[in-house]
A and B are shown apart, each in its own frame.
Chain A
Amino acid sequence: MNNSYLIKTEHIKKIYPMGLTTLIALDDINLTFKKGEFAGLVGPSGSGKTTLLNIIGALDSPSEGSAEVLGKKVETLSHRSAAHLRNWYIGFIFQTFNLLPVYTVFENVEFPLLLQNIPSPKRKKLVMEALEWVGLADRANSKPAHLSGGESQRVAIARAIVKKPELVLADEPTANLDAENSHHIMRTMVQLNEELKITFIFATHDEKVMRYLKRKISLNDGKVEKDEIFELEVKK
């Protein structure tokens, strides 16, 4: 992997067939992300944010061009290799939390580590560390149904960071939260970014998220319109 960047996209194009015509979701995207960035893909619905996040997260591959994520060319990865990349190096945070309802907070956070076959004592240590990061160590034995929206999203963050990933991808992480919880969540992620040097990339059109971004990439009709870098202190 080139040390200068974590992610590099070159002339990415994503085309979806729509009956007899085609829809160009991404058109000639050239971006690089360095380790430790706190960046957001912003834009209206249909601008291509989630499609780009899919490609960066090895959930999809570009129709044309190349996307290199953590030294792996996404378009050449097999299903198994893509799963391995996500399992070990990428964390995901979803708008609707997507916690496993039958498992406790601890077990939800533990799940990615189970997939990595990490021994139980180490798993327990890592899970409790992650829960302490998000301030939910005392709720380890609670079920998701007993958590508030903000707490659920913090569990989702703990699940994303427990394996100490290089990269966390978050799709509209505050869309289902009120203002106070949104700020709490964003402050947690900023802290994780600064202290653990985890790279965060958001797909959002939420102003509350945008205030925390150090880099804002505006997409429109599948193209990069603007790529701005901010000082976080200024934005706050």
Chain B
Amino acid sequence: MIKFLIKGLMRDRSRSLFPVLTVFAGVFLAVFLYSYINGVVSDMLKMTAHYQTGHLRIMTQAYAKEINQNPNDLALIGVNELLQKLNKKYPQMIWTPRIKFGGLLDIPDENRETKIQSPVIGIAVNLISKSSPEYKLLNIKSAIISGHIPNNPGEILIADEFAKKLNVGPGDTATLISSTMYGSMTMVNLKIAGTVYFGITAMDRSAIFTDISDIQSALDMQDAAGEILGFFPDDIYHDEQATLIASSFNEEFKNPEDKFSPQMGTLPKESGLSDYLATINSMSIVIIAIFIVTMSIVLWNAGLMGSLRRYGEIGVRLAIGENKGHIYRTLILESMIIGIFGSILGTLAGTGIAYLIQVYGLDMSFLFKKSSLMIPNELRARVTSGSFVIGFIPGIFSTVLGTSIAGIGIYKRQTSQLFKELEV
């Protein structure tokens, strides 16, 4: 019977083409949007994790309260001991200390007089050690535009756009003017080793990377760091595991009465993205629900048109002795075939286009020129196993739903009228 139905669908294009195209279009959009949202959210999370919060972040409670000001006077101290404890207790994680700081970057002329000055945001990480996880996390090697990775103390990387603005390049000297952990003014001469492109407008405008030991020395932060970040080795955030580690850490180290005691937070909490992610999840469900409802209405209408066109055929089938339930089931089966076929095509097209955007990305930097968010300039889709499944939900459900509603008319058909109806 299935073979018989497939033959009918293949030959009668008006029975199959429009529904297949409808399903194709809906599934394509659902799969593409799902993959696109997935990619944008993943990239945003990844960027936020890499540059801001890690998958887990440890700070003092006081630092956490004032985090927007990078208050290094409230930084963690005894960092080396804490890192040893972390590595021992949570060896499954990669732990790395960072210091974020602000200040002025002074570019001198040949007479050592100020040529140009600009506010700067800096991230001090372990740059010198070749085994540093930061190379991978911050994608430093491939971000280099000119020059090289710092090999010696005092060398820094500067955002390429920022370097152009300051008219400096590799080999030039820059002076960082900032304040120490204890509030006094400090100046340190740094040598530009290379320029980098972060791909994040907020950082490309005014950021530098320095080695953490240089900044610890410059800001009087020996054995101190603003924060310690923890990353899962596969670079994917695992919420359940992260929450467990955070609660175990906080139980051991956090002292509500000591504002300098460390506390650990997870990526969604630290980034403030948990509500945002929940909203995106809800939106994904809403988008799929909209597709299901819209496609069901369209396919219901197509089903009604088809039923009218196939009125004679259904009448003959009733007269020949096919019972109404069987006819109804074959219509549902036909719709499932259409749904599966349209869903396969839509999924292939949706994942195909999404994959292209995953590989090549969409340059959206023009939108983020004034943005201070950790949003990558190139938005990329992300094709996951879910992308191959998600389209089948609206694809099959809507065709079956549409046909189920349209097919109810079969049960209202009076067999006693068949001779009259079939002889019109």
Contact = CB atoms under 8 A, between A and B. Distances in A.
Whether both chains belong to one complex is answered with yes
Interface of A: 50, 53-54, 57, 59-60, 79-80, 82-88, 90, 92, 94-96, 98, 100, 102-103, 107, 110-112, 114-115, 159, 171-172
B145 interface: no
A59 B321 contact: no
A59 B320 contact: no
Contacts of B420: 50
B254 to A, nearest CB: 71
B320 A107 contact: no
A75 to B, nearest CB: 13
For the residues of B in contact with A, the DSSP-based class is: helix
Contact of A95 (B4, B11, B423): B423
Contacts of B319: 57, 59, 86, 92, 94
A87 B12 contact: no
A172 B423 CA distance: 9
Contacts of A110: 4
Given A79-B323, A115-B320, A102 B423 contact: no
Given A59-B419, A107-B4, 14 more contacts: A54-B415, A60-B415, A80-B325, A83-B318, A87-B320, A87-B321, A90-B321, A94-B422, A98-B315, A98-B422, A100-B316, A103-B7, A111-B317, A159-B320
Nearest to B415: A59
Interface in B314-333: 315-326
Nearest to B11: A102
Given A107-B4, A114-B1, A83 B11 contact: no
A100 B313 contact: yes
B312 interface: yes
Contacts of B316: 94, 98, 100
B418 interface: yes
Contacts of A80: 323, 325
Interface of B: 1, 4, 7-8, 11-12, 15, 312-313, 315-326, 415-416, 418-420, 422-424
A103 B320 contact: no
A96 B315 CA distance: 12
B320 A86 contact: yes
B321 A171 contact: no
Contacts of B423: 94-96, 171-172
Contacts of B318: 83
For the residues of A in contact with B, the DSSP-based class is: helix
Nearest to A87: B321
A211 B319 CA distance: 27
Contacts of A95: 422-423
Nearest to B423: A95
Nearest to A51: B416
A94 B320 contact: no
A61 to B, nearest CB: 8
Contacts of B7: 102-103, 107
Contact of B320 (A54, A111, A172): A111
B322 A79 contact: no
A115 B322 contact: yes
Q: Which of B318, B419, B424 has the most CB of A within 10 A?
A: B419
A145 to B, nearest CB: 11
A92 B415 CA distance: 13
A84 B4 contact: no
7 contacts: A57-B319, A60-B415, A88-B321, A100-B313, A102-B11, A102-B12, A103-B8
Contact of B419 (A82, A94, A100, A115): A94
Nearest to B312: A98
A112 B419 contact: no
A83 B322 contact: yes
Q: Which of A53, A83, A100, A159 has the most CB of B within 10 A?
A: A83
Contacts of A84: 321, 323
A92 B422 CA distance: 11
B419 A171 contact: yes
Nearest 7 CB-CB pairings of A with B? A87-B321, A60-B416, A86-B321, A83-B323, A102-B12, A59-B415, A102-B11
B323 A59 contact: no
A50 B8 CA distance: 31
A82 B416 CA distance: 12
Nearest to A111: B320
A82 B415 contact: yes
Contacts of A59: 319, 415-416, 418-419
Nearest to B316: A98
A79 B321 contact: no
A156 to B, nearest CB: 9
A57 B418 CA distance: 11
Given A98-B315, A102-B11, A53 B419 contact: yes
A50 B319 CA distance: 14
Contacts of A111: 4, 317, 320
A83 B321 contact: yes
Nearest to A58: B415
Q: Which of A53, A57, A98, A114 has the most CB of B within 10 A?
A: A98
Contact of A115 (B321, B415, B418): B321
Nearest to A86: B321
B119 to A, nearest CB: 74
A102 B321 contact: no
Q: Which of B4, B320, B323, B326 has the most CB of A within 10 A?
A: B320
Contacts of A50: 419-420
Q: Which of B1, B15, B322 has the most CB of A within 10 A?
A: B322
Contacts of A82: 415
B411 to A, nearest CB: 9
Contacts of B15: 102
B322 A87 contact: yes
Nearest to A112: B320
A88 B323 CA distance: 12
